[in-house]
Amino acid sequence: MTETTLADVRRPPRALPATLLGVSTMTIMASATITPALPGMEKHFAAEPHAELLVRLVLTLPGLAIMVSAPLLARLSGRTGRVPVLAACLVLYTVGGGSGLFLDSLPALLAGRALLGVGIAGVMTTATALLADHHPPAEHGRVLGLQGAAMGFGGVVALLLGGLLAAVSWRGPFAVYLLAVPLLVLVLRYVPEAPAQTGADEDSGSSPWQPRLLGLYAVMFLGIVVFYTVPTQAPFWLAQVGGAGPAVAGALIAAVNLVMTVVGLNFRRLRARWSFPLLATAMFVAFAVGLVVIGTAGSLWTAALGMVVVGVGIGLQNPTVNGWVVASVAPGARTKALGLLTSALFLGQFTSPLVAQPLIDAAGLGRTFVVAGALAAVIAGVLAAAHLVRRGRAVSGSPH
């Protein structure tokens, strides 16, 4: 692992991290915001060919755009600077996201959603890199934990605000994307480019394709694959188990985001005690326990308990994997590595329902959750075993 140090970096003025944390909330709002508007949108566009499919693509298309564009934008930021890319992508986020307020055809809406995805990709990669750039390594656990908390809080706000605005009009939730405008002003005012890192791209930690980083991209991908069974399949399972309607299912998914926020706020303390491998193992243990509890639940309350435990896992995932990547790569290559990590995250989101559906057809929803939990348990075991092997080698190689 390459531990990067920035001797000249001191804790920045509060406005800088506050702005970047605010920007981070925009990323998780992207999909959750318009979910309550989908039925109204489908009704509005019912006369268009293939409306049912195209309306669902309005929700998922940004993820595909993010997968493709995140590595490209990360590379661009290495040439032009991170702040210009962040500012430009906030403009794309505003235009693409807000386009739903006035566009009146599904193909045009899909083009706007693709533009939104490009904006999110740039925001995700540059905001995390800038948080790391402007804080010394000892502070990374704190600021990345706060970033995870901000993202969890953003998810709760998006679900609640989107639902309220969707009750007025299916176009209402698209107004939430305009919140990026004041954040753009704050970025231009309070977020400078980090000092250039001399030789950052020439040292051994400069490649985003190191074996360790490839493993971390896989950890992110697999974590999202198992976790995403909750937002995509839990509403159907909760209806079967406890007769939960959309409001109850939405409230429980919002509770997962609240748990994510609490874990993020306490991540600094966890990072002070546990290494990244142990935190990643704990993340998959939480996924395993929570998903098995959900899948074997005989009542709504038991399923809700499982969702809370899953919330602990997703609360650990972003700060743990982001922090591990930041600690494993040179400062000059951070955005490249974070761009690939972002692609892995959204590839996991895209893959999860594709993997889950055949299992649901063959074994049912409950057993699908149990299988996802078993996969998480296997991954936790592999991470724990790899950690023990590395520790054993370190001990045997140390001088006596």
The 10s digit of each residue's pLDDT in 293-332 is: 999 998 999 999 999 999 999 999 999 999 999 999 988 8
DSSP annotation string for 100-158: GGT--SHHHHHHHHHHHHHHHHHHHHHHHHHHHHTS-HHHHHHHHHHHHHHHHHHHHHH
Say if residues 246 and 137 touch (Cβ distance below 8 Å). Answer: no
**pLDDT score, position 8:** 41
pTM of the predicted model as reported, rounded to 2 decimal places: 0.85
Of 187, 134, 171, nearest to 26 (Cα)? 187
Backbone φ/ψ region at 225: left (φ over 0), alpha (ψ -120 to 50), beta = alpha
pLDDT in tens, 257-286: 899 999 999 999 999 999 999 999 999 999
Question: How far, CA to CA in Å, does 355 sit from each of 56, 153, 226, 369, 378?
Answer: 18, 29, 10, 12, 17
Q: Which token pair is 119?
A: 């904006």
Q: Which has the minimum average pLDDT: 30-39, 43-52, 184-193, 212-221? A: 30-39
